[in-house]
Amino acid sequence: MPRLAVVLVLLSACGPRAGASRDLLAGRLPHKTIAVKRAELLTDGVIAVAGDPATSHLAVLIPPGGLVEYDLGTSRTIRGAYVQADNNDEYVLSVSEDGSAFWPLWVAPPVGGAGLRSRIARGLEAHGRYVRLTATGGDRVYTVTELALYEEEPPSQLDFAVRRGMPVEELVRSSILLFGLALVGCVLLARRGSRVLTLIALALPAGAAWHLVYSFWLVWPIGQREMAMLRSTLALVTLVALAREVLVPRRFPPNRAVVLGTLGFCAALAMASFFNLGHPQFWDAKRQRPNLVHNHDLRAYYPAAKYFRELGYDGVYLASVAAYIDDVPGASPSILANVSIRDLKTHEMRRVADLAADMEAVRRRFTPEKWRALVEDMRYFRETMGERDYIGSMSDHGANATPVWLAIAHLIFARTHASNATLTVTALLDPLLLLCALIAMGWAFGIRTAFVCAVVFGTNDFYMFGSSWTGATLRYDWLAYAAFGICALHRRYWRAGGALLALSALIRAFPLLALLGAGLPALWWLVDRFRANRKLPTWQELRLAHRPLFAIALGAVLSVAALLLLTLVLFPLSAWPQWLHKAALLDSGVHVNHISLRALVAGNDALQRSTLLARLPLFIALIGFFVALVLLASRGKSYALSALLGLLLLPVVFNPANYYIHFIFLFPLLVPERTAAEIREGAAPLAWTDFLVWAVLLGLCVLLYWTVLAPNWELHFDLDTVFFFTTLTAILVTIAARDAAAGSARRAVPVSSQAASNSASSAM
């Protein structure tokens, strides 16, 4: 034993000192963090398999400007360091004695290979109590799984547990699917009259919701694919909840409170997802932080509305360049000479050098005071967008709204100055209008209908490019006005309905189809009268039979007159011809994000015009097909539903961009929800044939998730177009078939009644 003790002492003296390879940070929690979550994982002794995705759930995200700081308790010598992190970034370790003044210790450089990779440093020589980790360079996505510091040389074999990580996006998608499954289980299991089953059903989504919130917290803000999956899942849950009420046998009656609560929850979360769950989607280049304001949209619409008398439809980009030259030190026409911007008179791209005379002509339209105000406003957009995006945005198509929209926006913007505060407040007008529209739908059509409309609004992905309307001002006001108009017609406020539909049409032109559609009941009445009498009725007979239609027309005429007068007071008369020219240019252009019958037949590429000409018979036949379906579906319908059916022809007659297709959120109004009294008596909220219309719409919202996975915009919008027209056809065919079956049943009733009467007479 004495000999063994001597040997051990000698070995100890010759070998490394005790604790020489001990990790100074092992199990230590950070002293300070900035913008970093789950920092405890950095010192938990667990690393990922080399090459695992940088977004592994084992890794900690360090955003630009973020940091993690450790207090070692006392000043320590540091001779080695280890970090496992994303391969293509630099990770900077700094030390300090007082926690205030830091100096570099080691920069872990980018390394070869993909994903998470280890870096190790030997031969360091530094002292300090505080250690700070930051990141820089690379792709600005910085993730770290483990950080270690050593007082002596790091050991050749590092003592870390190695685990296979899951990409955190997969974790989020899994939690979304599990939450959707829990909601489905809740509505299916909850049974009217069974308190035990209902309590069990409600417990399912409660646990799943916690996991969902936690996974969102891990990766906040969530990505586009995850947001699309959330929307798709909410649409599917809504579909199942409605099917539970309509299709499940009566021996297992649904708990209507649970179903209605689920519909309301899905509606609220769907609307929140449209607004990106409240997370700003844009970047403030001046303040280097996310920004709610959609400056890429408002950089054209704000000045166009505020200074329309000076800018017209052609001057916003010319004035933007001139303001840039006046406001930026060192800027000159020669420096910008080769920059290309869009000539808004022709929509062609032209060099700034070739537009010098046009720029000077626009400048001369301004008084000195107004020009200084414009320069200040454009300075705001240039600083918040950054010079590259400010200049680059001038390849877009300017402000395309009607003079009526510009007049309304002018009244809002005229006495303001462009700022984050101003444009954040005006951005709230859209959600406020939308909320009022949904309340009106619940008042006019029923609470379930309003919930389904909200779900369709929030879960369809036609708008893409993120939630491209969030942060803009009065971007979907026309949709709200159209909804108000249809609700007013449904509740028999004829003049108000006509006035609101006319307002919507004067904002975005497309709802003119709704006003025309309101006349379809009169058209069917004329057809039936002619078939019965072999002659057309008199004007007086038409007025007596369709008094509401004339009230609708009167409301529309008065609305148009008042709004036209407003534009003439604020703007020159030439505003309307200029807008018509602008609309013609847009309609004739080819854009990848258009969803229309034209795009379905001829595509959205440079060959569209020649392809459309070659397929003109097919194009005309399809127009006739959809018009015929709308006419058939409108037979026997109210003025409100006929107006809505007319609006369905928007992408058939026009060539709208993807975000205008958002009008599909009005489609659920096409079928009647049963009254609250009927539902209390045990009836399903709607007939199963009507449920099919809602099911098709919600099924579309589910399918649109897969368009987000398309590898390019062309395929994405091609799929959008095919899905949309398939859905439109299915809805119109379903309505026409349902009405035909109902008509046959009505015609059969008198025959059977007469037969029964004859049989009774014989028996007597």
Q: Length of the chain in residues, anyone?
A: 764
Helix or strand or coil: residue 505?
helix
Owner of token pair 């586009």 = 224
CA dihedral over 458, 463, 466, 471, signed as positive or negative: negative
Helix or strand or coil: residue 200?
helix
Whether 402 maps to a domain, the answer reads: yes
Whether 349 maps to a domain, the answer reads: yes
Whether 3 maps to a domain, the answer reads: no
Write down the number of H helices and E strands in the chain. 30, 13
Whether 479 maps to a domain, the answer reads: no
Whether 15 maps to a domain, the answer reads: no
From 664, 635, 621, 612, select the one nearest 743 (Cα to Cα).
635
10 Å CB burial of residue 195 (0-12, 13-18, 19+) is exposed
- For 308, other C-beta atoms within 10 Å of its C-beta total 25
pLDDT in tens, 84-142: 999 999 999 999 999 999 999 999 999 999 999 999 999 999 999 999 999 998 888 89
From 393, 228, 379, 371, select the one nearest 306 (Cα to Cα).
371
Question: Which CATH number does the domain housing residue 122 bear?
Answer: 2.60.120.260
At 606 the pLDDT is 83
Helix or strand or coil: residue 8?
helix
- For 538, other C-beta atoms within 10 Å of its C-beta total 9
d(CA 565, CA 690): 43
Taking residues 235-260, what's their average pLDDT? 90
Longest dimension (CA), the chain: 129
d(CA 468, CA 465): 6
Last residue of a domain, one of 163, 181, 199: 163
What are residue 70's DSSP bridge partners? Answer: 131
Last residue of a domain, one of 382, 414, 446: 414
pLDDT in tens, 699-729: 999 999 999 888 888 899 999 999 999 999 9
- For 278, other C-beta atoms within 10 Å of its C-beta total 10
Contact (CB, 8 A) for 68 and 36: yes
pLDDT in tens, 23-76: 999 999 999 999 898 999 999 999 999 999 998 989 999 998 899 999 999 999
Domain containing 347: what range? 283-414
d(CA 152, CA 121): 11
Residue 381 has pLDDT above 80, yes or no: yes
Taking residues 503-511, what's their average pLDDT? 94
Residue 763 has pLDDT above 50, yes or no: no
d(CA 518, CA 634): 9
Whether 513 maps to a domain, the answer reads: no
Q: What confidence category does residue 2 fall into, taking pLDDT thresholds of 50, 70 and 90?
A: very low
At 20 the pLDDT is 47
Contact (CB, 8 A) for 462 and 476: no
Q: 3-state SS string over 607-620?
A: CHHHHHHHCHHHHH
Percentage, residues of the chain above pLDDT 70: 94
Taking residues 614-633, what's their average pLDDT? 96
d(CA 461, CA 225): 11
Taking residues 372-393, what's their average pLDDT? 94
d(CA 296, CA 283): 10
Helix spans in 48-166 (H): none
Highest mean predicted confidence (pLDDT) among 427-436, 599-608, 676-685: 427-436
Percentage, residues of the chain above pLDDT 90: 66
At 744 the pLDDT is 66
Contact (CB, 8 A) for 70 and 131: yes
Helix or strand or coil: residue 108?
strand
pLDDT in tens, 311-333: 999 999 999 999 999 999 988 88
Cβ-proximal residues to 203 (8 Å cutoff; 6+ apart), any chain: none
Average of per-residue pLDDT values in the chain = 89
Rg (CA), the chain: 33
Provide the domain count of the chain. 2
Whether 68 maps to a domain, the answer reads: yes
Taking the alpha carbons at both ends of the chain, their separation in whole angstroms is 126
Highest mean predicted confidence (pLDDT) among 234-248, 456-470, 743-757: 234-248
Residue 389 has pLDDT above 50, yes or no: yes
From 625, 635, 617, 605, select the one nearest 728 (Cα to Cα).
625
At 273 the pLDDT is 92
pLDDT in tens, 328-361: 998 888 888 899 999 999 989 999 999 999 999 9
Helix or strand or coil: residue 87?
coil
pTM for this entry: 0.86
Which amino acid is located at 575 in the chain? A
From 142, 163, 159, 144, select the one nearest 40 (Cα to Cα).
144
Taking residues 447-476, what's their average pLDDT? 85
Taking residues 185-210, what's their average pLDDT? 88
Owner of token pair 């006005």 = 481
Cβ-proximal residues to 315 (8 Å cutoff; 6+ apart), any chain: 344, 362, 365
144 DSSP assignment: E
- For 244, other C-beta atoms within 10 Å of its C-beta total 23
Which amino acid is located at 60 in the chain? V
d(CA 669, CA 647): 12
Residue 207 has pLDDT above 80, yes or no: yes
Upstream peptide bond of 221 is cis (omega within 30 degrees of 0): yes
Whether 404 maps to a domain, the answer reads: yes
At 747 the pLDDT is 57
Which amino acid is located at 663 in the chain? F
Chain centroid to CA 549: 36
From 382, 383, 396, 392, select the one nearest 339 (Cα to Cα).
392
Residue 15 has pLDDT above 60, yes or no: no
Taking residues 588-597, what's their average pLDDT? 85
d(CA 351, CA 757): 86
Taking residues 282-303, what's their average pLDDT? 90
Last residue of a domain, one of 163, 195, 222: 163
Contact (CB, 8 A) for 436 and 540: no
Taking residues 655-675, what's their average pLDDT? 91
